[in-house]
Amino acid sequence: MKNLRFLIIPVILFVSACGWFKQPPEIGKVLSEHFKNKIYKDFDTIAYDRVFVKAMDSLSETFINPKTIKAFYASNVNEPKLITKFYIDGQLDSLVEYLQNSTVHGFNPKIFKTDEIKSLLQELSANKFTKVDDSYPIIARLELLSANAYLNYHNFLRYGVVNPRNIFSRYYIKVKRPDSLGMMNMLSSVSLTDSLNSVQPKSTQYMALQKAYLRARAENEKRILLLNMERFRWKMPETGTNYVQVNIPDFRLTWFDRQDTVITMKVCVGGRREAGYEEKIKAFAKSGNLDDKPKNHETPLLFSKINSIQANPVWNIPVSIAQSEIYWMARKDPYYLSNSNINVYYKDKLIGEPDTINWNRYSRDKLPFKFKQGSGGGNALGKFKFIFDNSSSIYLHDTNNKNGFNLTNRAISHGCVRIEKPLEFAEKLVGDTYTYDKLRAEVDLPPVDSTNNKWYKKRMAAKADTARAFQLKPAWFAPKKDVPLLITYFTAWSQNNRIQYRPDVYDMDEKLWVAMKKFR
């Protein structure tokens, strides 16, 4: 049965290729009729195939997707599909026009070999071949360069020039990228012009940046606009029309409902990595000494959904902060831990009196303890924590230090995002007065609806009862529905018909500019 299967496959391929090996093949008929030139009736597919294979070998090294292009032509027995379908009706000329006009997207037409494609089209159109064999190198090269340029142009506009996950260490948003099946389907398009037209970015933001880019004269401004056009080309996850966005360079959270703003507020984000980070991290990798480890608290870029709210949160202090800060503070002040409401655990068991720990016995790189800061006014997370699934232990939260929101550069946190108006944000998330009043009661605020005063009075009475110890504990609340959250990075965007510019706080513009160099 296996032997029979292997015999069937070549037969299928031969049958599907029969049209190509007819005399003349489709390309010969098309060109013969178009030019009224009989030489194309002698089009020899076997002779052409040898020329095509050599052209593929010489050109494929410069292709971005050589495997896909080779697979497409292998499945079509090297037939010049694009020329056969799109030369006569002028669609290959339209491709050249799109490529020449790619400057409106910040591209250099040279990266598509636009001039050579145009020259090959002109040479074919001149119809000066005295024998059909002379046309083979022109047809083969025109076919392959057109296929490559078409794929690249289409992919650049639909998905962006670079994959941000390849150049940024803390970029965790799963952007969609081109796949071989999609590209094979593109090369089999019924209409090149329809495909090229449909891929033109049509988002309001992109078009506003593009318009500003075409008007800008200063090179630095053009550079910023181009970089953010690229960011808007990246195929982001579907957020829907109702979502929350944190834009790091803007130090701001905005809740969007379609084009409307539900709520907006200042945020503090992670501090930028230490100067000379790349070299210092190499030194740390060699030494393993924590004193050599450079600081990097940059907030990661990610997409998730806010799925819960914690009132009166407990802060599970990360190991990195325990090593770099808590350890030193405890050594300096034996009462620091108890005064800061920080509990210490050894093998998951609570240590009753952490002030008695002899810290000189322990090195900070091998601390056997875990640290948790209890609920209350002194908690670094404030009164609210907004939780979403992610691999970086990042969340949005309140803060007991409000002064940070008065700063111009608010890249000051350990990586999480501090939000300016946590109570208002919580109100929007829970979405109903009943749940909101329950949440308010947990943080000792009176209810909005006076009919719910009973909860509030009961809680306040329990706190005031000196006969019974009242222990403040975290309380969990669910949003009315999970809300998409996008933590992103734009240094330019359109707002109220004006382009807004922000500083490149994490130097991400510079990295992106270097990655895009060969496409400019």
- Does the annotation mark 397 as catalytic? yes
HSE-up of residue 417 (Cα within 13 Å, Cβ side): 32
Where do the H-state alpha helices sit in 200-326?
Answer: 204-215, 219-233, 277-287, 319-321
What tokens were used for 27?
């390309």
In angstroms, the CA 79 to CA 147 distance is: 12
Closest CA to 185 of 214, 161, 154: 154
In angstroms, the CA 246 to CA 252 distance is: 6
Which of 105, 268, 297, 416 is flagged as catalytic?
416
Which residue is listed with tokens 């037209």? 197
Contacts of 441 (CB under 8 A, 6+ apart): 447, 452, 455, 456, 459
- Does the annotation mark 18 as catalytic? no
Which of 18, 268, 397, 414 is flagged as catalytic?
397
Q: Kindly state the greatest CA–CA separation across the chain.
A: 109
Instruction: Find out whether the peptide bond into 24 is cis, omega within 30 degrees of 0.
Output: yes
Burial class (CB in 10 A: 0-12, 13-18, 19+), 203: exposed
Length of the chain counted residue by residue: 520
Tell me phi and psi for residue 463, to 5 degrees.
-70, -35
Burial class (CB in 10 A: 0-12, 13-18, 19+), 123: middle
Active-site residues: which are they?
A: 397, 416
